[in-house]
């Protein structure tokens, strides 16, 4: 009996691995067709002041990822998921994809895009039942009650837009998302409850679709993610992380944030920068992380690879949280925050004159040298 169960488990893992490989192949195979469709529909990114592409570039790349991911979850990996959850999420995903496609073809305003994400978030909350319900941070333990809805919606909108904002270079958002999602999938598979294994498999299916798409999207890209892709990936990152945040603990709250270190950091400091400059938060600029690195002299490809490396550091740190004690987690968080602020000031993400931490360190060193 033990041998049979072990054999069944091995076959199940084998089928999942084969399905994930098939998802990569499907994603890679359908991307050229989506590229042609983008030209037909007029979903093309033309060169401009805020664009890095020198020639018209088709968008809608996210549609290929969505189709491959949907085929994987509904056909190849169907037994792994709850039926009600799958169809509810599919409805929400479709709203995000349609919103992104309209934006790639006709260009929506930020409010219109937020409306599409807001509707999708409501579907996730009320229909799929994916939400934050209570907080358990050591001695602090309380039910969120009516706050559950706004916090859940804020989480989804925030993460979705974070990925959207870093989609500025060939392969950047795709590669960073692969690293972040893989980290979340590993954490969910090995450190969370058995009930969350299905979420990890869903995450790996999305990773497989992204890996299949990446060769078409990496520098020099032949197709962009477009808002169709960046909003969809960000939305799925948010929803999948919420699956582990139903009962919020310090670790479950911090791990996905750290795993998403690059987009979260870039978005947070973009908001701070715009507030300090007294401009609208939604106003675009060329001072994001990838812009600053290129302004410091890195090439397009080098910038992408450096940011991949930074995201890998965040991923490694996120994997340390479930292995550390409570004190270790607190110290780790303090160290991460210190490191982020130091890095941000060194590259001038907020501006060359806004370096309070570096100023304080120089002042201390100056006094010690007297």
Q: Which residues are annotated as a binding site for Mg(2+)?
A: 164, 227
Q: Cite the annotated binding site by residue number.
A: 164, 227
With beta carbons less than 8 A apart as the criterion, state whether 40 and 206 touch: no
At 200, list the tokens.
């990890």
For residue 219, the tally of other CB atoms under 10 A from its CB is: 16
Q: How far apart are CA 270 and CA 344, in angstroms?
A: 11
Q: How far apart are CA 177 and CA 338, in angstroms?
A: 24
DSSP one-letter string for 132-188: --EEEETTEEEE-GGGHHHHHHHHHHHHHHHHHHHTTSTTHHHHHHHHHHHHHHHHH
Q: Helix, strand, or coil here: 58?
A: strand
In sequence order, what are the beta bridge partners of 44?
Answer: 58
Which residue in 66, 85, 84, 82 sits closest to 26, CA to CA? 66
């Amino acid at each position: 009996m033990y041998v049979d169960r072990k054999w069944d488990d091995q076959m199940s893992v084998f089928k999942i691995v084969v399905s994930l490989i098939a998802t990569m192949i499907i994603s890679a195979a359908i991307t050229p067709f989506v590229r042609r469709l983008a030209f037909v529909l007029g979903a093309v990114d033309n060169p401009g002041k805020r664009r890095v592409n020198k020639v018209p570039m088709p968008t809608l790349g996210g549609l290929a990822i969505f189709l491959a991911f949907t085929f994987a979850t509904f056909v190849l990996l169907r037994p792994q998921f709850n039926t009600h959850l799958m169809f509810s999420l599919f409805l929400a995903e479709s709203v995000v994809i349609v919103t992104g496609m309209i934006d790639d073809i006709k260009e929506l305003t930020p409010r219109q895009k937020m409306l599409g994400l807001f509707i999708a978030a409501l579907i996730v909350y009320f229909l799929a039942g994916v939400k934050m319900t209570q907080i358990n941070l050591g001695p602090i333990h309380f039910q969120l009650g009516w706050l559950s809805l706004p916090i859940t919606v804020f989480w989804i909108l925030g993460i979705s837009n974070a990925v959207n904002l870093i989609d500025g270079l060939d392969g950047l958002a795709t590669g960073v998302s692969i690293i972040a999602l893989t980290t979340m999938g590993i954490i969910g598979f090995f450190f969370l409850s058995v009930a969350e294994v299905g979420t990890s498999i869903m995450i790996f299916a999305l990773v497989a679709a992204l890996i299949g798409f990446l060769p078409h999207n990496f520098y020099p890209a032949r197709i962009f993610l477009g808002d169709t892709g960046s909003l969809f990936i960000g939305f799925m990152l948010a929803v999948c992380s919420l699956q582990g945040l139903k009962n919020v603990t310090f670790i479950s709250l911090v791990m996905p944030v750290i795993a998403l270190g690059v987009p979260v950091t870039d978005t947070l400091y973009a908001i701070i920068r715009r507030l300090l400059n007294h401009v609208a938060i939604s106003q675009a600029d060329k001072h994001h992380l990838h812009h600053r690195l290129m302004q410091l002299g890195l090439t397009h490809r080098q910038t992408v690879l450096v940011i991949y490396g930074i995201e890998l550091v965040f991923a490694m740190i996120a994997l340390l949280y479930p292995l550390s004690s409570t004190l270790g987690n607190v110290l780790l968080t303090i160290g991460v925050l210190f490191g982020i602020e130091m890095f941000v000031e060194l590259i001038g993400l907020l501006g060359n004159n806004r370096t309070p931490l570096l100023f304080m360190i120089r002042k201390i060193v100056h006094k010690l040298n007297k």
